[in-house]
Structures are given as structure tokens and as C-alpha cells.
Amino acid sequence: MSIIDSIKSKAVRSPWLYRINAGSCNGCDVELATTALIPRYDVERLGCKYCGSPKHADIVLITGPVTAMVKDKVLRVYEEIPEPKVTVAVGICPISGGVFRGSYSVPIMLDDIIPVDVNVPGCPPRPQAILEGVAMALDIWKTRI
């Protein structure tokens, strides 16, 4: 094993999660808080940890239908996250617009402006489904680092 490979195998253990609310109704955010905060679902078993700054993040979880008002702000925060990053769309809103699809204030889907890797549909998704999505994002992140 070369030095780079050994560094890679050690480095992939602790991705930091960052959460962007792109106009969400707070339902998915509550579920994300549930997966992270209460010991019943405990996302930190996967080696993940929520962080407060986009500059520290590795996996970004985006909720909400990307409203016209928040679009530029989402892009600005997304740009600050260092490469390699993995994007997870949580809930049906960022994936398809959900129940807000066709509204004048929801002109685009998330994957029109940002490369999305994993989708976790649901309104809101179960904490287990979010854990599943984060686990998928971890696998993708391991291939990128």
C-alpha cells in the first residue's frame, strides 16, 4: 500500500456534515436534528459530525425546494464548501419541488443548479432513511477523496 492509499484509508473516517435550509418547511430539518441529536438514531456512529461552518464540511445535506429568494444564497454557501464534497437532497422538495412544484416562487429544482449525488425522498423522510442516505453519501465520498 502506498503512502497516499494509507492516508486515504485513515482519512475517510470522519466526514463532517453541513446542513443548508433552502426554504424548507422545517419538517426535514426536524428529522435531521432527530438523526443527529437523539441517541436513538445517532448519525455519529457513522463517524459523521455536524459542523457549523461550510468551510469545514464534507457532506452537505440540503432541505427545502430552493425558492427564488434563497437560490443565490444557497449557491454562495455551497461554493464555500471545499472539494471533495457530496450533496444529499433530503425530502421531496429539493428533488422535485414536492407539493410546491409549479409555484412562481419555486422556479427550479436543486439539481439544475448544484450537482446532487444522493436523494432521500419523503415528506419528511424517516430518520432511518436519512441514515441510509448519509451512508450512501459516505461511500461516494470515499471514492472521491
- Residues of the shown chain interacting with another protein in the complex, contacts defined by CB under 8 A: 39-42, 45-46, 89, 92, 95-99, 101-102, 111, 115-123, 125-133, 135-136
- Least separation, in Å, of the C-beta of 99 and another protein? 5
CA nearest neighbour of 60 among 93, 97, 16, 25:
16
- Least separation, in Å, of the C-beta of 3 and another protein? 31
Quick check: 54 and 80 in contact, CB under 8 A? yes
Residue 81 or 86 with smaller CB distance to another protein: 86
- Least separation, in Å, of the C-beta of 127 and another protein? 8
Quick check: 81 and 50 in contact, CB under 8 A? no
- Least separation, in Å, of the C-beta of 86 and another protein? 11
Q: Is 86 left (phi over 0), alpha (psi -120 to 50) or beta?
A: beta
Residue 55 or 108 with smaller CB distance to another protein: 108
Residue 32 or 118 with smaller CB distance to another protein: 118
Quick check: 56 and 82 in contact, CB under 8 A? no
Q: For cell 440540503, what's the residue?
A: 62
